């Protein structure tokens, strides 16, 4: 193997190894296992993540404290498993981690469904906005193709074929315009739906989520 290939392989291998680490060497040396467990749970990680922490720190000759980690993790669960966080995850179209105990999971899931309603309504608007932008670009391309397709210098079958292509392009432009018009009408409806959804979710969230501030 050439020397430079060896260097690249070593560097790449080290980079990939670092990218797969659950915790850094600095975190292992610091040894704040309670805070580490708390932070992991607050991000929705299961307590089994401690196994990965132990492996990573073991590479540096450091043994984590499982009891301190679990104590921190249990306190972190209380930060993660809140209705407000469930609502936030729903608005971001992210799933709720299954770490929440039964006495907290119900309220978290209910708030998550509320947040998801906003995401769904907004996604419908954004899909139509993308469809409209796509149709605008399509029409521009078709019109450009039409402008470049000049049949005047052609004769016979070539001219007839050229005219057929122009007619086909004109029809595609017309179809795209109809679709664009339909999408714009539908967009107005979906925007109204989005505003109504926001108002209804605000009302329900203010009633069911402690500390919720209407948007």
Other Cβ atoms less than 10 A from the Cβ of 148: the count is 7
Query: 40, 49 in Cβ contact below 8 A?
Result: yes
The C-alpha atoms of residue 123 and residue 131 are separated, in whole angstroms, by 12
How does residue 20 score in pLDDT terms, banded at 50, 70 and 90? Answer: low
**pTM exceeding the 0.95 threshold for the entire prediction:** no
Mean predicted confidence (pLDDT) in 111-136: 97
pLDDT digits (tens, 9 = 90+) for 57-107: 999 999 999 999 999 999 999 999 999 999 999 999 999 999 999 999 999
């Amino acid at each position: 193997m050439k020397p430079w290939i060896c260097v690249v392989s070593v560097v790449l291998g080290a980079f990939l190894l670092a990218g797969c680490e659950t915790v850094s060497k600095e975190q292992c040396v610091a040894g704040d296992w309670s805070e580490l467990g708390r932070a992991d749970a607050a991000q929705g990680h299961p307590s089994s993540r401690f196994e990965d922490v132990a492996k990573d720190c073991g590479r540096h000759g450091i043994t984590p404290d499982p009891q301190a980690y679990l104590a921190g993790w249990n306190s972190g669960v209380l930060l993660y498993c809140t209705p407000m966080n469930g609502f936030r995850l729903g608005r971001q179209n992210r799933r709720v981690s299954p770490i929440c105990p039964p006495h907290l999971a119900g309220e978290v899931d209910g708030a998550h469904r509320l947040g998801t309603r906003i995401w769904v309504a907004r996604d419908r608007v954004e899909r139509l906005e993308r469809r409209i932008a796509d149709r605008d670009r399509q029409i521009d391309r078709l019109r450009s193709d039409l402008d470049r397709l000049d049949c005047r210098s052609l004769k016979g079958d070539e001219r007839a074929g050229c005219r057929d292509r122009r007619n086909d392009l004109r029809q595609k432009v017309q179809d795209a315009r109809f679709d664009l018009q339909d999408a714009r009408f539908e967009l107005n409806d979906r925007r109204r739906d989005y505003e109504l959804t926001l108002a209804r979710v605000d009302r329900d969230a203010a009633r069911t989520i402690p500390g919720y501030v209407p948007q």
